[in-house]
């Protein structure tokens, strides 16, 4: 129940709340399973947001998140909630809801958010059942020893099958299907019971109040006005305003300008004690100075050991980003610089392409990360961009033992190569059992190694594969969706690398290499790639005054060839008096178009042609992995 | 039909910009003056046609064919006032051309009245050329004789093809067997004759095209125009192609047909004098069309007609000429003239740069070629490469002219782009 009076409220003031009154929890859910709506309802029920202030999905700050229904940046909200025991004695609690990113690309961020909690609400759409990615996060939560509270959402939907999916959840987390809570974030049904259940089941945080302070950063967000806002969970000791703090991974020190909690707007407090969750402001401008997973301590009396689990984000997928209008290059550079302030995982360096001009090679955590960055660049900075087909990082060892890291196919070394290693992932696919064959076929085509298969329920199967990451970043998800009529879901996690028989296929126009189309592919797929790309380019390269051969080559060996025949006619047959203005304007337009031509050797190609080839080719990959069904 | 260009409004009274220099500033023979008369009537509309023309059914009331000659003469009177006002009223007319539509939908006497009106207004220059387009099925020996008596010197027949299935696709209604007769009648009446042909019609084989060219030549004509079929948006044929009912031949087919026509016509003694026009000697060339390509002045009478007046040598300022175009619909056209207003719908004031592009674009299409001195530095630098790629004639270039080779004629637009890069 909402806190009934000021006496109880006093017991849960920030910096003065006994750890046993604190509950730190997160919600694990698939993107469209209603997490934000449920969170909104909790904010309302606990009284931290008045109904009239409510806007849909209060916690998702960015437009892009609101529209896509996904949460990129986690936040933490402190909510008061009272429970009464059998004697009617009321106890106040401070509930910290830590909103986790829901997506596989952000596994590391998810793991840090989970590490800040003692419990997790496993929220599943009662009409859809659990999805692969939720399963992955559930595994993470269980590894972190979190108390799991299974909940079925959207029970108001006509298509809901609460009994069926309660059974599925009970099977997964152990326990009785009857214990699975049934709620509707939309109507609010069952949400009070859920809040009570959280208080009842989630363990209170435990820490040493007298030890040197240690707080774990689980998120870090750049704010235009405040600089970086760092979200922490205090494990030991306490933090207070004006003290000097140290980031343990870098030893960098900062003055703590402000400390506080969010409820749901930030408010300053006198500090944060054991088990509490809140934010810090130090005035730094770049999220890289406040890294997720790092431990904050007191600079004067630092802790001996950082909290475990810190890791630097590693880009897994690379793509070239180019402005469609070359004069937008400086805007793109400034935009990336700005996004970087808020995205510790974003890496980029300038790159030049013969076909596409000036741009950047950008490293991403995964495909969704790529898509989000691209969309933010286009939306917030009004840029039109073209991205090259995403690729992974290869470790190439030459015959002489030299090792080369390749993040761009055009850097793939020529000459004698001893070994090429590529990243591999452990992929989990959940699919209705009728599509098992189709999914297995796809995974086999993509060089997958089956690791296991389990029935989650009678008609739902979990397939586990080891797959080269490169095979996933290229239209795998679209293929999976189309082969399973949209029912399968996918999750993957990097597990290491493997040696593979990989070659670089170059595309040549009249003997000149077109960098944007080089690709690193498995030897067995080289021919197919070569045939496909040469055929595609043949369609879009305008005929020139001479014949233009289009070749695909592995090293010096040509594996596919098409020819664009020479143009024979480029003249308007009739030109009478009434037609002169029109014809002149046509020529002016053609001349304008010529300025947008790129020269590959002596072949003139409209930039649009490259863009269209890349767009259709990267089409599968461009689609974000987990768009709503 | 193509939309009119965007432009600024034409003054109500049609006055030319003040910067147009009077003819008094010209050297002798500079800025010759021609008149085009658009006759916007056809008995049926052909599927490929995008010209500004109307069938009686389409037109309805308000702009009847019987009134048309009088309305056109109203515009002649307006033109006379405007040109007088600009100091350009003294030039006799070198060429008159009646196009359409189907000018011969009008009684020959109506066409004759318009010619007489033009002659009365400005006078016809010595040896003036007066041409009309004609549909082979809309003339008789008598009507052709009336035209010749009224001062017409030339007739251009829309033959298009000798092959019935090609004519059917084009929705041409005339009987191809009539062609030798109408040519003979016209020649008997003392008229020069040209035949228009179209190549690249869906379904036309190379043999069909050869048959058409050979049939045209068999009549002994002295002038042939051969145009590749262009399917313009908005035409019935465009819709048929879009729906897949007709398949357009590719450009290679058109190029091959162009070359075949050029071979056959040249062998028969008709040399090219413009990309799409062949004549048995310069005296048979269409001088009215040459005037367009050389940038001379002309007044276009009739709905949708374009006119052009160059600024003249004596002009000061940045403008090189003015082009305007009339409202398209015959009813609106007639109404404006009835109110004593200019039927001009819009005009463009050509900058030196635009005029330069037009000059190169039009001049290079001619056998006489373009004076290389006209080109800017970049254009002159492009000449060597165009000669090397056999698009421009090397000997002519040495003599100071840009003249297209046959390969160059087929790629003339590319040549223009390079010469004006």
Do B417 and A582 lie within an 8 Å CB cutoff? no
Q: Is residue B196, in this structure, part of any structural domain at all?
A: yes
Whether A96 has a pLDDT exceeding 90, the answer reads: yes
Q: Give the mean pLDDT of A526-540.
A: 91
What is the least distance, in Å, from the CA of A597 to any CA of chain B?
13
Residues B281 and B370 in one domain: no
pLDDT tens-digit series, residues B19-35:
999 988 888 778 899 99
Name the percent of chain A lying above pLDDT 70. Answer: 93
- DSSP H helices in B56-199: 56-59, 65-85, 108-122, 141-149, 164-170, 179-188
The reply to whether B81 falls in a domain is yes
Which CA distances in Å does B87 have to A260, A342, A508, B21, B31? 86, 72, 63, 8, 13
B79 pLDDT more than 50: yes
Quote the pLDDT of residue A487. 81
Same structural domain for residues B286 and B386?
A: no
The pLDDT score that the predictor gives to residue A26 is 92
* Domain assignment of residue B379, given as a range: 364-421
Phi, psi of A79 (to 5 degrees): -130, 135
Looking at every residue in chain B, the average pLDDT score rounds to 92
Higher pLDDT, B249 or A522: A522
Q: For residue A209, is pLDDT > 50?
A: yes
The answer to whether B335 contacts chain A (CB < 8 Å) is no
Q: What is the pLDDT of residues A314-343, one digit of tens each?
A: 788 899 999 988 899 999 999 998 888 777
In this structure, is residue B405 part of a structural domain?
yes
What tokens does A530 get?
A: 């070569």
- Asked if residue B30 belongs to a domain, the reply is yes
Quick one: A224 exposed, middle or buried, by C-beta within 10 A (0-12, 13-18, 19+)? Answer: exposed
B110 has pLDDT over 80 = yes
Evaluate whether residue B174 is within a structural domain. yes
Report chain A's mean pLDDT, rounded to a whole number: 85
- Residue numbers of A between 544 and 573 with CB closer than 8 Å to B: 545, 565, 567-573
Contact A590 B308 (CB under 8 A): no
| Interface touch B227/A587, C-beta < 8 Å | no
Residues of A in contact with B306 (CB under 8 A): 577-578, 580-581
Give tens-digit pLDDT for A266-309.
888 999 999 999 999 998 888 788 888 899 999 999 999 998 87
Residues B88 and B183 in one domain: yes
Assign residue B40 the CATH number of its domain: 3.20.20.70
One domain for residues B275 and B375: no
Indicate the residue among B235, B268, B291 that finishes a domain: B291
Name the token pair of B179: 């062609």
| Rounded Cα distance, B29 and B172, in Å | 41
Q: What's the pLDDT at A622?
A: 35
Least confident interval from A164-168, A228-232, A604-608, B275-279: A604-608
Mean pLDDT of A199-204: 95
Which pLDDT belongs to residue B224?
98
Cα angle A585, A590, A591; round to 5: 95
The DSSP output letter for B25 is G
**Are residue B257 and residue B399 in the same domain, yes or no?**
no
- Please name the residues in contact with A80: beta carbons below 8 A apart, sequence gap of 6 or more: A2, A3, A9, A12, A46, A47, A48, A92, A93, A94, A95
What pLDDT, in 10s, does the model give residues B143-191? 999 999 999 999 999 999 999 999 999 999 899 999 999 999 999 999 9
**Which string of DSSP letters, residue by residue, matches B95-111?**
EEEEEES-GGGS-HHHH
CB distance B2–A591 less than 8 Å?
no
Q: Are B231 and B371 within one domain? A: no
| The predicted structure's pLDDT at residue A104 | 56
Q: Average the pLDDT over B67-85 and give the result.
A: 96
CA distance A542 to chain B (A): 13
A130-155 burial: b if 16+ Cβ within 10 Å, else e: bbbbbbbbbebbbebebbbbbbbbbb
Domain boundary among B291, B316, B340: B291
At A214-236, the pLDDT tens digits run 999 988 887 777 888 899 999 99
Q: What is the pLDDT of residue A616?
A: 56
Considering the domain architecture, whether residues B372 and B270 belong to the same structural domain is answered as no
Same domain as B170, residue B262: yes
**Residue A94, pLDDT above cutoff 70:** yes
Q: What is the rounded CA–CA span in Å between residue A532 and residue A536?
A: 6
pLDDT, tens digit (0-9, with 9 covering 90-100), for A469-511: 999 887 788 888 889 888 888 888 888 999 999 999 999 999 9
Is B330 part of a structural domain of the chain? no
Q: Is the CB of residue A577 less than 8 Å away from at least one CB of chain B?
A: yes
Tell me the H-state helices in A84-154: 107-115, 132-143
Residues B249 and B377 in one domain: no
The pLDDT value recorded for residue B279 is: 98
Same domain, B252 and B395: no
Could you read off the pLDDT of A372-424 as tens digits, one per residue? 888 889 888 989 888 888 889 999 999 999 999 998 888 898 888 899 999 99
Q: What is the pLDDT of residue A575?
A: 83
Asked if residue B193 belongs to a domain, the reply is yes
* Bigger pLDDT: A573 vs B167: B167
Tokens 């050389």 — which residue?
B294
Bridge-based pairing of strands B344-351 and A147-153 is unpaired
Q: Identify the domain boundary among B291, B320, B355.
A: B291
Q: Taking the model in full, what pTM does it have?
A: 0.67
Classify B168 as helix, strand or coil.
Answer: helix
Residue B282 pLDDT > 90:
yes
Closest partner residue to B305 (CB to CB) among A578, A587, A594 is A578
Substitution target in A547, A568, A585, A589 with the highest count of B β-carbons within 10 Å is A568
Q: Are residues B109 and B194 in the same domain?
A: yes
Q: For chain B, what is the domain count?
A: 2
- SS3 state of residue A612: helix
Contacting residues for B287 by C-beta, under 8 A, at least 6 apart: B94, B95, B129
Q: Is the pLDDT of residue B298 over 60?
A: yes
pLDDT of A23 above 90? yes
Q: Are residues B251 and B385 in the same domain?
A: no
Nearest CA in chain B to A593: B417
Please, which pLDDT band fits residue B44 given cuts at 50, 70 and 90?
Answer: confident
Among residues A328, A343, A344, A340, which one has the least CA distance to residue A378? Answer: A328
H or E segment and range at residue A18: none
Give the range among A94-98, A454-458, B86-90 with minimum mean pLDDT.
Answer: A454-458
Asked if residue B319 belongs to a domain, the reply is: no
Find how far residue A136's CA is from the centre of its chain: 14
């Amino acid at each position: 129940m909402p806190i009934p009076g000021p006496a109880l409220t006093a017991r849960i003031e920030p910096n003065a709340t006994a750890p046993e009154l604190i509950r730190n929890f997160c919600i694990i859910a698939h993107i469209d399973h209603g997490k934000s709506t449920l969170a909104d309802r909790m904010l309302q029920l606990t009284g931290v947001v008045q109904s009239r202030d409510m806007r849909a999905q209060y916690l998702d700050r960015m437009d892009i998140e609101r529209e896509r229904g996904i949460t990129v940046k986690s936040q933490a909200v402190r909510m008061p909630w009272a429970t009464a025991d059998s004697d009617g004695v009321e106890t106040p609690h401070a509930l910290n809801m830590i909103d986790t990113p829901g997506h596989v690309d952000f596994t590391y961020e998810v793991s840090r958010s989970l590490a800040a909690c003692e419990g997790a609400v496993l929220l599943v759409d009662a009409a859809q059942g659990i999805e692969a990615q939720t399963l992955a996060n559930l595994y993470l939560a269980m590894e972190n020893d979190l108390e799991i509270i299974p909940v079925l959402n959207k029970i108001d939907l006509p298509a809901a099958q609460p009994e069926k999916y309660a059974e599925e959840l009970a099977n997964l987390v152990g326990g009785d299907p009857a214990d699975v809570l049934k709620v509707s974030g939309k109507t609010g049904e069952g949400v009070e019971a859920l809040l009570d259940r959280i208080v009842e089941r989630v363990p209170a945080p435990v820490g040493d109040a007298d030890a040197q302070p240690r707080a774990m950063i689980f998120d870090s967000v750049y704010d235009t006005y405040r600089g970086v806002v760092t979200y922490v969970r205090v494990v030991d000791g306490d933090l207070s305003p004006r003290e000097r703090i140290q980031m343990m991974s870098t030893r960098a020190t900062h003055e703590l300008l402000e400390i506080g909690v969010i409820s749901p707007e930030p408010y300053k407090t006198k500090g944060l004690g054991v088990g509490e969750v809140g934010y810090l402001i130090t005035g730094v401008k770049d999220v890289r100075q406040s890294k997720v997973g790092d431990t904050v301590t007191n600079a004067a009396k630092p802790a001996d050991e950082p909290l475990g689990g810190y890791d630097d984000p590693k880009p897994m997928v690379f793509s070239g980003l180019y402005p469609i209008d070359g004069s937008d290059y400086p805007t793109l550079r400034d935009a990336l610089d700005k996004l970087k302030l808020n995205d510790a995982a974003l890496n980029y360096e300038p790159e030049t392409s013969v076909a596409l001009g000036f741009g950047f090679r950008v490293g991403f955590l995964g495909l969704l990360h790529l898509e989000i960055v691209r969309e933010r660049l286009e939306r917030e900075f009004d840029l039109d961009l073209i991205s090259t087909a995403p690729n992974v990082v290869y470790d190439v060892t030459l015959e002489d033992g030299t090792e080369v890291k390749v993040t761009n196919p055009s850097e793939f070394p020529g000459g004698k190569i001893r070994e090429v290693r590529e990243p591999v992932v452990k992929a989990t696919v959940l699919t209705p059992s009728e599509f098992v064959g189709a999914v297995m076929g796809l995974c086999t085509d993509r060089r997958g190694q089956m690791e296991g298969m389990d029935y989650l329920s009678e008609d739902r199967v979990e397939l586990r594969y080891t797959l080269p990451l490169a095979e996933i970043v290229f239209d795998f998800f679209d293929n999976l969706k189309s082969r399973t009529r949209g029912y399968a879901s996918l999750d993957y996690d990097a597990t290491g690398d493997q040696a593979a028989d990989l070659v670089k296929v170059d595309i040549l126009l009249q003997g000149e290499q077109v960098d944007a189309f080089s690709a690193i592919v498995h030897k067995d797929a080289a021919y197919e790639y070569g045939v496909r790309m040469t055929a595609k380019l043949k369609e879009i390269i305008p005929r020139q005054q001479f014949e233009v051969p289009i070749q695909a080559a592995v090293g010096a060996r040509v594996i596919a060839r098409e020819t664009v025949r020479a143009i024979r006619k480029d003249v308007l047959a009739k030109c009478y008096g009434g037609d002169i203005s029109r014809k002149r304007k046509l020529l002016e337009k053609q001349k304008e178009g010529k300025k947008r031509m790129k020269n590959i050797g002596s072949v003139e190609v409209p930039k649009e042609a490259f863009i269209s080839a890349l767009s259709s080719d990267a089409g599968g990959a461009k689609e974000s992995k987990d768009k709503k069904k | 039909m193509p939309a009119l260009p965007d432009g600024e409004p034409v003054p109500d009274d049609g006055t030319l910009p003040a910067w147009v220099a009077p003819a008094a500033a010209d050297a002798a023979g500079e800025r010759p003056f021609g008149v085009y008369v658009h006759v916007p009537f056809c008995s049926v509309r052909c599927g490929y046609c995008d010209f500004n023309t109307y069938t009686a059914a389409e037109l309805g009331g308000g702009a009847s064919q019987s009134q048309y000659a009088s309305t056109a003469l109203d515009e002649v009177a307006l033109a006379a006032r405007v040109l007088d006002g600009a100091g350009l009223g003294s030039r006799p007319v070198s060429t008159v051309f009646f196009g359409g539509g189907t000018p011969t939908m009008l009684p020959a006497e109506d066409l004759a009245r318009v010619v007489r009106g033009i002659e009365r207004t400005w006078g016809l220059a010595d040896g003036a050329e007066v041409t009309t387009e004609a549909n082979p099925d809309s003339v008789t020996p008598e009507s052709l004789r009336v035209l010749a008596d009224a001062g017409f010197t030339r007739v251009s027949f829309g033959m298009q093809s000798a092959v019935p299935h090609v004519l059917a696709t084009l929705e041409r209604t005339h009987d191809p067997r009539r062609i030798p007769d109408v040519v003979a009648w016209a020649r008997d009446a003392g008229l020069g004759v040209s035949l228009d042909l179209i190549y690249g019609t869906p379904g036309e084989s190379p043999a069909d095209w050869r048959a058409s060219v050979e049939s045209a030549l068999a009549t002994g004509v002295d002038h042939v125009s051969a145009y590749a079929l262009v399917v313009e948006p908005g035409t019935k044929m465009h819709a048929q192609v879009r729906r897949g009912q007709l398949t357009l031949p590719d450009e290679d087919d058109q190029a091959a047909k162009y070359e075949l026509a050029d071979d056959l016509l040249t062998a028969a003694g008709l040399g090219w004098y413009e990309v799409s026009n062949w004549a048995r000697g310069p005296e048979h060339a269409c001088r009215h069309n040459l005037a367009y390509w050389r940038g001379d002045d002309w007044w276009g009478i009739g709905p949708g007609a374009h006119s052009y007046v160059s600024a003249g040598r004596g002009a000061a300022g940045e403008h090189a000429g003015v082009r305007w175009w009339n409202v398209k619909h015959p009813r609106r056209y007639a109404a404006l003239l009835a109110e004593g207003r200019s039927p001009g719908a819009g005009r463009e004031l050509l900058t030196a740069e635009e005029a330069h592009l037009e000059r190169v674009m039009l001049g290079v299409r001619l056998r006489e070629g373009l004076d290389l001195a006209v080109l800017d530095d970049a254009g002159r630098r492009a000449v060597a490469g165009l000669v090397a790629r056999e698009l421009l004639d090397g000997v002519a270039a040495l003599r100071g002219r840009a003249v297209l080779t046959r390969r160059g004629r087929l790629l003339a637009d590319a040549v223009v782009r390079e010469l004006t890069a």
